[in-house]
Amino acid sequence: MRRPSLRLLLAVLVALAACFAGAPAQAAVPDSPAVTYTNPIADKRADPHIFKHTDGYYYFTATVPEYDRIVLRRATTIQGLKSAPETTIWTKHASGVMGAHIWAPEIHFIDGKWYVYFAAGTTNDIWAIRMYVLEGTGANPLTAAWTEKGRIKTQWESFSLDATTFVVNGVRYLAWAQRDPSVNNNTDLYLAKMANPWTITGTPVMLSRPTHSWETVGYKVNEGPAVIQRGGKVFMTYSASATDSNYCLGMLTASASANLLSQASWSKSPVPVFASSAATGQYGPGHNSFTVSEDGKSDILVYHDRAYKDISGDPLNDPNRRTRVQKVYWNADGTPDFGIPVADGVTPQRLSSYNFPERFVRHYDYRARIEANVTPLADSQFRVVPGLAGGGTVSLESANFPGYYLRHDDFEVWLARDDGSASFAADAAFHRRAGLADSAGVSYESYNYPGRYVRHWEYLLRVQAVSTATDRADATFHAQ
């Protein structure tokens, strides 16, 4: 009786193996699907901070060019902040402290109350910048009752600004920028524990001093710290150099289990992690914060920049810094990749292969292919825009080569500049379809060769007819 049962079992196993061998690999829907926004989010708003609260609203505050008040907006979407009405919750004092240079407000919700951290000078010395805190009670901070909790006192009586607060392993910290009176710098970055939302405790530690060439253009500056955490690591971005086109982001990294109050626990990026891009027309990106997408699945970088490089006079007197957002991507080693400040308009996305999910569509020497660990990130970012040929089609525009589109040439897919011809428009236009192998994905059917789809073959993109399960898998992508 045992031998027939054994033969039957073997037959079943062989049949199952044959079935799986013939089935294409399948990729789950990405943990972080694509999100897109249209930039800018707010004109003439610098040092932006967007906080997503548990009430379903995003709260937005920023420096206004008059430097005289603190404003708030709220909306249920990030894009909705663009048209949301703005409320002034606090105005500078007519004289004395908190009477000038109202800068860089941040809004946080701590232990059931609202707190706004900001910097301010005095009417008799506008450069006597110090950090202050407002406390608000009420469910809606736009209508809350606000009281002044006073100045955050640090180790020195010196220029200090850009306070931000965060929690790691149950411990609340304050990070900020301050001038060390004994050093010929403008500002360094400091960190301390907090006794309450308006008071630090213990001895602050200096985390970073501007020493790299890109941190010392115009001024020796480390300022505007912002924290994002993932995978047991703490990442602190900060802004460096003058607030013109040289302004850029650096980053410090520490293990969440390390002693964060030890400078030795932090490593510093040797180069900027986010800087001006002449290709996309974005200059001086900086003073960022982080928020999350509406579905909670994507991290969002919030920052300001300008749409031009050259500034007349003092950059602080130029009112045209504006608030922008774009998705943060994460490298295989767990570090964030911010890419480049993308062009104005709709933000780009990435397309991962359905059957090789670690590989993304990218251009390399203008040839389109799928590849893992893409560097630079922007080579794998494309804006999905109205199709050049119209007719309900879409075209895929390169993030780092605006005006260049994916198009097929002799059924091979290349990145090429739009020459304005009807043939180019037709070759660069596609009908966006539900994924042929997964309806949660996307497939791109050629506009001028119906029935042919963008698919990878030996990792290169081509436009071909599809018939088999493998063909359909090769022609399916997930937007991220």
Query: Catalytic residue positions?
Result: 47, 223
Alpha carbon of 141 to those of 100, 136, 453: distances in Å? Answer: 23, 7, 51
Which residue is it, tokens 């509406």?
Answer: 294
Task: Say which DSSP state 12 is in.
Answer: H
By CB atoms closer than 10 A (0-12, 13-18, 19+), residue 443 is buried
233-240 sheet: strands from edge to edge = 222-230, 233-240, 248-255, 267-268
By CB atoms closer than 10 A (0-12, 13-18, 19+), residue 74 is buried
Which residue is it, tokens 């090429």?
Answer: 416
Give the DSSP H/E element, type plus range, for residue 362. Answer: strand 360-364
**Cα distance between residue 205 and residue 149, in whole Å:** 24
Specify the 3-state DSSP secondary structure of 378.
helix
**Cα distance between residue 255 and residue 259, in whole Å:** 8
**Cα distance between residue 415 and residue 418, in whole Å:** 9
Q: Which residues contact 24 (CB under 8 A, 6 or more apart)?
A: 355, 437, 469, 470, 472, 473
Alpha carbon of 223 to those of 152, 249, 390, 415: distances in Å? Answer: 17, 10, 46, 39
**Cα distance between residue 229 and residue 253, in whole Å:** 10
Taking the CB of residue 154, how many other CB atoms lie within 10 A of it? 18
